[in-house]
Amino acid sequence: MIVAVIVACEVAFWVLLAAGLGVRYGLRMPRTGLALLLCEPLLEVVLLVVTAIDLKHGGRADWRHGLAAVYIGFTVGLGHATIRWADARVAHRFAGGPPPVRPPRYGRARAAHEWRVAARWTLACVVALVLLQAAIRYVGADGDTGSLRAWQLRMVWLIGINVVIAGSYTLFPRRERGR
């Protein structure tokens, strides 16, 4: 059941995003479109409540509960940036807005961009880690929490990978050709 709710939340995320941007730019109702976009966090609340109810009623903590925590973390850490990314492109394409700003390609500006990306991914992973730890405590010492701890390890690895990528742009910045 948890996986079905995760899939439903993911589909609902994209449907709300499309509806919000469609109403905002297609129907020229920016406040209504913004209201639809602001409904996005409710999806995470629904998923969190469903997961907690499942665990409360005897559901064995397994990879699905870990996936729910990771999904919520990624939506918290990356959802706003995804909405901003889509909004800039839709505004440019359908509402005469300015072209979307491309990330810098070289030097310190690129390194700073990569650190901002790493910060978003780190936030996503930290939120997932906190939710996973809360689930581990909720299940208690009597329950099997090995799969939740495995998800925690994956989140730590993901933080490390993002820090290494951002660090590589700092230590070895790309330079323009001919410079």
DSSP string, 106-152: SHHHHHHHHHHHHHHHHHHHHHHHHHHHHHHHHH-TTS--HHHHHHH
pLDDT digits (tens, 9 = 90+) for 111-144: 999 999 999 999 999 999 999 999 989 888 777 7
Pairwise CA distance, residues 129 & 69, whole Å? 8
pTM, rounded to two decimals: 0.88
156 vs 178, more confident: 156
- pLDDT attached to residue 140: 80
Mean pLDDT of 16-23: 94
pLDDT digits (tens, 9 = 90+) for 42-89: 998 999 889 888 888 877 888 899 999 999 999 999 999 999 999 999
**Band of the pLDDT at 175, cuts 50, 70, 90?**
confident
- pLDDT attached to residue 110: 95
- pLDDT attached to residue 116: 97
Is pLDDT at 179 greater than 70 in this prediction? no
* Angle formed at CA 4 by CA 19 and CA 17, multiple of 5 degrees: 15
- pLDDT attached to residue 126: 98
For 158-161, which contacts have Cβ atoms below 8 Å and span 24 or more sequence positions? 158/121, 158/125, 159/121, 159/122, 159/125, 159/126
Is pLDDT at 20 greater than 80 in this prediction? yes
DSSP label at residue 24: I
Q: 171 to each of 90, 107, 163, 165, 166, how far by Cα in Å? A: 35, 10, 12, 10, 9
Burial class (CB in 10 A: 0-12, 13-18, 19+), 176: exposed
Tokens read off for 64: 């699905």
Q: What percent of the chain has pLDDT over 70?
A: 99
Pairwise CA distance, residues 24 & 50, whole Å? 31
- pLDDT attached to residue 123: 98
Q: Which of 164, 76, 77 is nearest to 120 (CA)?
A: 77
